[in-house]
A and B are shown apart, each in its own frame.
Chain A
C-alpha cells in the first residue's frame, strides 16, 4: 500500500474502488441523483456511476446549488463513498460536510499520477492521508 499525505476537508474513513475523472464535475445537471450516474454530455465519466466509489477529480464547477443534488444522491444511496480533489471548490466541500462524506484535497503528490480506475483506495480524513493498492495488488 502506498501512503500519501493530504489535507482533510471533513473527518472519517472510507475505502473502496476508485473512479477517476481528470475533468471538473458539476453536481447540478452533471450527476443524476437517482442513480449516481454522470450525465453531462461529453463528460469523460458520462454514463458511469460514481455511487459507492471513491471519486477522484480535480475540482467542482457550475451551479452553486450542487450541494442539494449531492445531498439527495447521498440520501438515496447513490453518492460516492469518499472524495479526493486536487483543490476543494466550495460547493463540493460543503456537499461532503453536510453528508459527512470523508474528503481530502491538496495532496502531496498529483493523484492522477498514481490512482487509476479500479484501484483500491482508503481515505483517512481523520489523520489526513490516503492509501492506494493498485489493481495488481501493489
Chain B
C-alpha cells in the first residue's frame, strides 16, 4: 500500500505512540484487503460501550489516549450505559459509573464529540453523497450508504478510531464504485403496504436479512415516498440478521433511481426473492421471546427516538397513567430530551409516569443494571433491540408497534403486535 510522507512519519512513530498504533492497524488492514492507498475521510462514528469493551477495552482506549493522541476528523460516539443526570434516581451501581467515567475521559482526551447517540446524523455528523466515511455501528453504517450515498465499510471500532486519528482509511470494498452494485433482486410487490406500520417493515427486514446475508440487495415495488421511520425500520433490522453494508431501495437510494442503475448492468430478468406476508408474520414469532403477558418495562429507543417519535408516544399515551407495575422508558439523545423539556413533552410524559432517559439506547447498556433491579419482561417496537436485549442480557421480549407498546404500559400486559 502506498503511503504519503506524513503517513510514513506516523508509522515511524514521529507523531507519537497513538498515531503509530493507528497507522499500524490501518497498514495491516489495508494489506489484508490489498488496498492501494489510504483515502481521506470526512466523518467517523464509533460504537462500543462498556458491556462490549470490558475492563481490557477501557485500558486499550486509555493507552491510545495516553500520549495526547487526538482525532483529526469529526468523530461522534454511540450511546453509553446510563444518563449521568439520572444515575442516582435510576440506581446505577457505583462500579458501572466508574467504568463509564473512564471511557468518557479517554474519549474526551482523544477529542471525540461526546454525543452518546446513535442518531448522530441529527447533530451535525452528516456526510454528503459520495463522501468517504468510517462509521462503526452496523445500523447507521447501512443508513449512510443506502440513504445518503456516503461510502463506509463495516468497520469495527478499532479501524474506525484508527481512521479518525490518521484522517484516512484503506480504499477497498464499498469505497470503490465497482463494489457498490446490487447482487440480489428482492420483489416486495405482493405485500399490502396500505396497512403497514413501521414495525412491519422491521419484521420484513428481519426475514430478508437472513436470506441476503452479506449480499447487496435491491428492493423493488416498495411504496413511493416511504417515511423515514419505515426506511430506518427496514435497514436497521436487515443488519441484525444479515451483514450487508449497502441496500439499494429503488427510488430512494441515490445510486438506485432504477433497477438498471442499481445493478450497473444486466439486472436479473426475474426476482431472486419474492416476499409473502406469511414470511413477515413468521418473523414476529422469531423476534419475540416472551411467553408471559405481564410486562415489567416498555422501552423505546433502538435506535434512539427522534422528536417525532416522542411526540407520537406522548399522543398515544394522552392523559393515561402507566400501570403501577410497569415502567415506560424513552431512550434518546440529550438534545432531543432538551427539546422535549422546552416543548412541554417531558412534563406531560412524567405526569403519566414515563421517563425520558438521555445518552442511552434501548438495546444494550441499561439492561446491565435493569436486570439486577428485577426487570425481566420488556416490550419494544424494535426488532434490533429485542435481539440484543435477549441474546446479550437474557431479557424476555415482546415485539410490536408503538401503539401496542404504549397500550402495554397502560394495561401492564402484552396484548398483541398492533
Q: Which residues of A contact B (CB under 8 A)?
A: 7-10, 24, 28-29, 33, 40-41, 59-69, 71-72, 74-76, 88-91, 93-95, 97-98, 105
Contacts and interface: CB of A to CB of B under 8 A. Distances in A.
A40 to B, nearest CB: 8
A69 B156 contact: no
Contact of A68 (B25, B32, B52, B391): B52
B388 interface: yes
Nearest to A60: B243
A107 B32 CA distance: 13
A89 B25 contact: no
B3 interface: no
Contacts of B156: 64-67, 90-91, 94-95
B157 interface: yes
Contacts of A67: 156-158
Given A90-B154, A91-B154, A64 B60 contact: no
Highest count of chain B CB atoms <10 Å: which of A41, A64, A76, A90: A64
A64 B388 CA distance: 13
B211 interface: no
Given A63-B47, A91-B154, 10 more contacts: A59-B214, A64-B136, A65-B52, A65-B136, A66-B156, A68-B157, A68-B158, A90-B29, A93-B29, A98-B158
Interface residues of B, number: 32
Given A29-B392, A67-B158, A88-B32, A94 B25 contact: yes
A48 B25 CA distance: 30
Contact of B54 (A72, A91, A95): A72
Highest count of chain B CB atoms <10 Å: which of A40, A41, A60, A71: A71
Task: Give 3 nearest A-B pairs by CB, closest first.
Answer: A75-B56, A67-B156, A72-B54
B326 interface: no
B41 to A, nearest CB: 15
Contacts of A8: 32
5 contacts: A64-B47, A67-B156, A89-B154, A90-B29, A105-B32
Contacts, number: 93
Interface in B365-407: 388, 391-392
B237 interface: no
Contacts of B43: none
A98 B63 CA distance: 13
Contact of A64 (B28, B56, B138, B392): B138
B397 to A, nearest CB: 14
B48 interface: yes
Contacts of B243: 24, 60-62, 89
Contacts of B154: 64, 89-91
B200 interface: no
Interface in B154-190: 154-159, 173
A97 B157 contact: no
Given A29-B388, A90-B159, A63 B54 contact: no
Interface in B44-70: 47-48, 52-57, 60
B153 interface: yes
A7 B29 CA distance: 13
B141 interface: yes
Contacts of A95: 156
Contacts of B388: 29
A9 B24 CA distance: 13
A29 B51 CA distance: 11
